[in-house]
Amino acid sequence: MVSQHLKETLDRYHLGDKIKQLRLRRKMGLVELSRHTGLSPALLSKLEHGKLYPTLPTLSRIAMVFSMGLDFFFTDARQKHAFSLVRKKDRLRFPEAPELDHASFDFESLDFLATDRRFNAYLADFRAVPAPRLHVHQHSGVEFIYVLKGKLALKMGADQEILDAGDSLYFDSQFPHGYSRVGSKPCSALVITAE
């Protein structure tokens, strides 16, 4: 029998609800989940309805079916941030790379307070950089650029694209690339990177 204190502690995590949520998200019935876990449908039903508490090995078998870690079950939803607000006044501005004499842009992270980010969002202000001094870089993942104002040159390998305000571009950021402002008018863009 589970003590009242342990019951209150475990109930905070809503383990049964989380198991059911994963199962329904995959449109899976109890019988199908039973086949994947080796646990009986009756046991799974009792777990989902909170009539039994799963042992760690049992929970681990369920988690593996859904490619989840055990931490999914023990994260208290009340403590997890569902959203993250970044005020303009709190953003910090950085050059592309502090060691460069001629940085192509300055950027501000738009989502630095968010935890468990699946992408990174930046506001970038681009500088005019002569071609020989253009810094070309690469990183894993993909990148998306939406030009807010001005005209932006994006160099990718031997190719160059010119983007006007309102233009957007999605590309594989593993290819060497670099940016520079075209003309004398200010140029800024929303830049999103993801791995």
Parse the chain into domains and list their residue ranges: 4-72, 88-194
Q: Write out 57-116 in H/E/C secondary structure.
A: HHHHHHHHHCCCCHHHCCCCCCCCCCCCCCCHHHCCEEECCCCCCCCCEEEEECCCCCCC
Instruction: Find the mean pLDDT for residues 15-44.
Output: 92
- DSSP conformation class of 132: G
Q: Residue 18 in contact with residue 74, Cβ under 8 Å?
A: no
Architecture of the domain delimited by 88-194: Sandwich (2.60)
Other CB atoms closer than 10 Å to residue 49's CB: what's the count? 11
Q: Is the pLDDT of residue 81 over 90?
A: no
Q: What is the pLDDT of residue 80?
A: 56
Integer angstrom CA distances of residue 63 from 15, 25, 27, 73, 135? 11, 14, 16, 9, 45
Q: What is the pLDDT of residue 82?
A: 61
pTM across the whole model: 0.58
Higher local confidence (pLDDT), 117 or 80:
117
Strand order in the sheet with 159-164: 159-164, 151-156, 177-181
Q: Hey, what CATH topology would domain 4-72 get?
A: 434 Repressor (Amino-terminal Domain) (1.10.260)
pLDDT band, very low/low/confident/very high, at 42 (cuts 50, 70, 90): very high
Q: If we measure between CA atoms, which residue out of 159, 149, 158, 161 comes closest to residue 187?
A: 149
Average pLDDT, rounded, for the chain: 86
Q: What is the pLDDT of residue 189?
A: 96
Q: CA 188: distance to chain centroid?
A: 23
Lowest mean pLDDT among 36-40, 84-88, 191-195: 84-88
